[in-house]
A and B are shown apart, each in its own frame.
Chain A
Amino acid sequence: MKRDAPERLLLHIVLIAGGFTMILPFLWMISTSLKPESEIFRFPPVFVPNTWDWANYVEAMKAAAFGRYFINTIIYAVAVTTTNLIFCSMAAYAFARLRFRGRNVLFILVLGTMMIPPQVTMVPVFIMLKRWPLAGGNSLLGVGGHGLLNSYTGLVLPMAVGAFGIFLLRQFFMTLPSELEDAARIDGCSEAGIYWRIILPLSKPALATVGIFTFTAAWNQFIWPLLIMSKDSMKTLQVGLQVFQTQYTTTWDLLMAATVVLTVPVLVIFMFGQRYFTRGIALSGMKG
Chain B
Amino acid sequence: MPDDRGPIARGQARTAYLFLAPGLALFFLFVLIPVIAAFYLSFCRYDIIHPPTWIGIRNYARIWADISKHGVFYLSLRNTAQYAIGTIPVGMALALALAMLLNAGLRGISIYRTTYYLPVVTSLVAVSMVWMWLYDPSYGLLNYGLELLSRAASFASGREVVIPPQAWLGDPGQAMPAIIVMSIWRGLGYNMVIYLAGLQSIPDHLYEAAIIDGASPWQRFRSITWPLLKPTTAFILVVSVIGASQVFAQVYVMTNGGPNNATTVIVHQIFQNAFSFMKMGYASAMAFVLFALIFVLSLINLRLLRGGEVEYV
Query: Do A and B share a direct contact in the complex (Cβ within 8 angstroms)?
Result: yes
* A interface list, Cβ under 8 A from B: 1-3, 8, 11-12, 14-15, 18-19, 21-26, 28-29, 41-45, 83, 87-88, 90-91, 93-94, 98-101, 103, 106, 109-117, 119-121, 123-125, 128, 157-161, 163-164, 166-168, 171-172, 174-179, 185, 190-192, 195, 202, 205-206, 208-209, 212-213, 216, 220, 222, 238, 241, 250, 255-256, 259, 262-263, 266-267, 270-271, 274-275, 277-279, 283-284, 287
B271 touches A119 (CB 8 A): yes
Residues of B within 8 A of A220 (CB): 121-124
B88 at the interface (CB under 8 A from A): no
Assuming the contacts A117-B290, A124-B33, A190-B11, asked whether A23 and B118 have C-beta atoms less than 8 A apart, the reply is: yes
Q: Which residues of A contact B309 (CB under 8 A)?
A: 174, 178
A175 close to B123 (CB less than 8 A)? no
Judged by a CB distance under 8 angstroms, whether B156 is at the interface is no
CB distance from B220 to the nearest CB of A (A): 10
Q: Is the CB of B30 within 8 A of A212?
A: no
A123 touches B48 (CB 8 A): yes
Q: Which residue of A lies closest to B41 (CB)?
A: A120
Contact check, B231 vs A99: say whether CB atoms are below 8 A apart.
no
- Whether B122 contacts A19 by the Cβ 8 Å rule is no
| A1:B207 contact, CB within 8 angstroms | yes
Instruction: Pick the contact of B189: A22, A163, A190 (CB < 8 A).
Output: A22
- The A contact surface, by secondary structure, is helix
The answer to whether the Cβ of B93 comes within 8 Å of any Cβ in the partner chain is no
A11-B101, A22-B116, A195-B19 known; A119+B13 contact, CB < 8 A: no
User: Is A171 within 8 A of B134, CB to CB?
Assistant: no
Minimum-distance CB pairs A-B, first 5: A87-B23, A191-B15, A121-B34, A124-B34, A98-B16
B interface residues, how many (CB within 8 angstroms): 110
B residues adjacent to A (C-beta < 8 A): 2, 4, 8-9, 11-13, 15-20, 22-24, 26-27, 29-35, 37-38, 41, 48, 98, 101-102, 104-106, 108, 110, 112-127, 129-131, 133-134, 138-141, 144, 147, 185, 188-190, 193-194, 196-198, 200-201, 203-205, 207, 228, 231-232, 234-235, 238-239, 242, 245-246, 248, 266-267, 270-271, 274-275, 280, 283-284, 287-288, 290-291, 294-295, 298, 308-310, 312
Report if A270-B9 is in contact (Cβ < 8 Å); known contacts: A90-B19, A91-B19. Answer: no
- Find out whether the CB atom of A115 lies under 8 angstroms from the CB atom of B290: yes
- From B27, which residue of chain A is reached at the shortest CB distance? A161
B194 & A168 in contact (Cβ 8 Å cutoff): yes
Smallest beta-carbon distance A4→chain B, Å: 12
- Check A119/B125 contact, CB under 8 A, given A18-B98, A19-B112, A167-B235: no
Tell whether, in the assembled complex, residue B144 and residue A43 are in contact, meaning their CB atoms are under 8 Å apart. Answer: yes
User: Known: A115-B242, A161-B26. Is A22-B31 also a contact (CB below 8 A)?
Assistant: no
Question: How many whole Å from B179's CB to the nearest CB in chain A?
Answer: 14
A26 to B126 Cα, complex, angstroms: 10
- For B19, list chain A residues within 8 Å (CB): 90-91, 93-94, 98, 192, 195
A90-B19, A115-B298 known; A100+B31 contact, CB < 8 A: no
